[in-house]
Amino acid sequence: MGRAISKARTLSPLLPFFVFAVLASLAALDSTQAASAENNTSIHGTDSGATLTSKNASCEQSPFAGYDCVLTVVPGQFEIHWALDGELLYIAAVATTTGWVAVGWSPTGQMVGSNAVIGPDPNPVGGFEIQAFRLGGRSVSRVHPNPNITVLFASSVTMEGVTRLEFARLVNESGPGIVPVVAAKGVPNRMLWAVSPDGSTGLQYHGPTNRMPFSVDFVSGASARALIDDEAHYRHLASKMRAHGWLMGFGVGVLLPLGALASRFGKNRLPHWFYLHAVCQITGVILMTIGAIIAFSYFDALQRAQSHAQARQHSIGLTIFILAWVQLLIALFRPSPGTRIRRIWFLWHWFLGTGIIIMGGVNVFLGMALFHKYTDYGIQGARVVYAIFVSFYALVYLALDTFLKPAPDAAERARIQLSTFPNPAPQYPDSRPDAAAVPPSGAGFV
């Protein structure tokens, strides 16, 4: 077992490649499962045997032919008419604007991560027809067409400063990147509306007054408008994401590696190496726990609805969180030094800790990318600083591993001493060549 421990230490530079291979396999499996889940999305409580309709909805009747209900979201600025007929939802959005009109479905009530039918923009330069888009961020560069969403019977007309956008969407449509139309009584659709600033052309930020979230139950007609302030909620969510990132990044990305460094090279060299190791590891796990609580409390809806990248980052983070607590419990119940089970425990403790550190570093970079994606805040500086830290840590680790081998513990030192300096064979007086010529001690004295 001593040789196994020595060989494990010798092969330690190869461990990152092993862990990255395992991580890549898990990421590929997670992406496959996420894609499968998205392709098998079901809608809560829909009765497939009944014909869906809004004709009996308790709502204000629409004056438009072919539509059953109308909801005036903002008087004089935006109203939505609809008719639910079997597998199709017909929408007519009327807005005070001469530019484009957007009607969106959101899993969280927020713009980021939602789908929207937007159009039209007749401008010959940069214009677009009525089509579905995925809103991946708050900047125009993150708004992309989504061909997976079926948009039927799309048309629009603008008269006297008012634009009327009409289209139909399939009910309960599912697939990659699709936020479905929910058609179930008592289950509201979280929706958004927005219009272009008057006289503007091309996709651009709509401004703080030309948008609002609302909800609609297309079966019963129940509705609620402006349940939350989108901008205020966005700022609140962004602050929680920033706090989560700092806690997880500093805990798993800084403290855990420093604690591991203290254990590997400070043992039997620094008088208080164990306390430094323990403080770094315990503090890192506590910070990770606080960050995980924030994620579970505020990001659950995002995790249920978003991309493969976010699902992957969530899965890796959850794995790290669980393994970190397992590692802490293993450390608290470590066997006595010098026993066989202690050597097995050491191998598990070392491999598990190294794997957590490597996966944590990868997940910090994934989290930075997602924070930028969903907030559009610049993270280039933080990414460069953390990359410098990781590179410096790796260089220090390799240098110490090359020029300052890890110090053995007390049991290991005793084993090395016994194997290097064996006890000499016992020597007796008569075994010496000159034993007969040398008188015994004290001979010749009275």
Three-state DSSP class for 385? helix
The closest of 397, 360, 392, 411 to 264, measured between CA atoms, is 397
**154 within 8 A of 180, measured Cβ to Cβ:** no
pLDDT of residue 376 exceeding 80: no
Query: CA torsion 178→99→142→230, rounded to 10°?
Result: -80
User: Other C-beta atoms within 10 Å of 274: how many?
Assistant: 13
pLDDT for 224: 62
**343 within 8 A of 2, measured Cβ to Cβ:** yes
pLDDT for 80: 93
The residue ranking higher by pLDDT, 445 or 235, is: 235
> What residue type is assigned to position 305 of the chain?
A
pLDDT for 418: 47
| Element holding 198 (H helix, E strand) | none
Write 61-64 long-range contacts (CB < 8 A, 24+).
62/92, 64/92
Report percent pLDDT > 90 for the chain. 14
pLDDT of residue 377 exceeding 90: no
pLDDT for 83: 92
18-22, 34-38, 39-43 — which is least confidently predicted?
A: 39-43
Q: Measured between alpha carbons, how far is 121 from 129 in angstroms, rounded to an integer?
A: 6
Q: What is the mean pLDDT of the chain?
A: 74
- Beta 223-225 vs 131-135: how paired, if at all? unpaired
pLDDT for 206: 65
Q: Measured between alpha carbons, how far is 263 from 278 in angstroms, rounded to an integer?
A: 9
pLDDT for 335: 83
**103 within 8 A of 91, measured Cβ to Cβ:** yes
**117 within 8 A of 150, measured Cβ to Cβ:** no
pLDDT tens digits along 203-255:
766 665 667 888 888 888 877 654 444 556 566 777 888 888 889 888 888 88
pLDDT tens digits along 142-153:
788 899 999 999
Query: CA torsion 114→218→80→70, rounded to 10°?
Result: -170
Return the residue matching tokens 């139950």. 217
Three-state DSSP class for 411? helix
pLDDT tens digits along 108-121:
777 778 899 998 76
pLDDT for 296: 81
Q: What is the pLDDT averaged over residues 384-392?
A: 88
Inter-CA distances, 353 with 256, 279, 326, 387, Å: 8, 15, 10, 20
Three-state DSSP class for 162? strand
> What residue type is assigned to position 365 of the chain?
F
The residue ranking higher by pLDDT, 328 or 38, is: 328
The closest of 103, 128, 66 to 181, measured between CA atoms, is 103
pLDDT tens digits along 119-132:
876 555 555 789 99
Question: In this structure, what token pair is assigned to residue 63?
Answer: 């004056």
pLDDT of residue 138 exceeding 60: yes
Write 317-323 long-range contacts (CB < 8 A, 24+).
317/248, 317/292, 317/363, 317/367, 318/292, 319/26, 319/359, 320/252, 320/288, 320/356, 320/359, 320/360, 320/363, 321/288, 321/289, 321/292, 323/352, 323/355, 323/356
Q: Measured between alpha carbons, how far is 329 from 353 in angstroms, rounded to an integer?
A: 12
Residue 398 binned pLDDT confidence (cut-offs 50, 70, 90): confident
The closest of 202, 245, 212, 273 to 366, measured between CA atoms, is 245
Q: What is the pLDDT averaged over residues 83-101?
A: 90
Residue 18 binned pLDDT confidence (cut-offs 50, 70, 90): very low
Angle, helices 340-375/256-266, rounded to nearest 10 degrees? 150
**358 within 8 A of 16, measured Cβ to Cβ:** yes
What are the chain's domains?
A: 2-37+232-419 (1.20.120), 60-228 (2.60.40.1210)
Where do runs of H (alpha helix) occur along 216-339? 230-250, 256-266, 273-298, 300-305, 308-332
Return the residue matching tokens 């924030």. 294
pLDDT of residue 305 exceeding 70: no
